[in-house]
Amino acid sequence: MPNLQKKRFFIPEENRWVELKISTSAIRTINKKGISAVLKEMKAKGKSIAV
């Protein structure tokens, strides 16, 4: 089972907060690259995210 956590992120382009239930490894990736870059990367791969 993955270690899932609820985490709030601020998306400056949309000027709003979102709460995601993500794994701890995803939290580290977002902290390293930034939430905007990770969201753009996911959209480019064709993966959807319910925000």
Rounded to 5, what percent of the chain is helix, strand, coil?
A: 40, 30, 25
Q: What is the pTM of this model?
A: 0.77
Confidence of residue 51 (pLDDT cuts 50, 70, 90): low
- pLDDT tens, 6-36? 999 999 989 999 999 999 999 999 999 999 9
In the prediction, which pLDDT does 47 show?
78
For residues 29, 25, 42, 35, the Cα torsion angle rounded to the nearest 10 degrees is -40
Contact yes or no for 51/42 (Cβ under 8 A): no
Neighbours of 29 (CB within 10 A): 15
Contact yes or no for 19/6 (Cβ under 8 A): yes
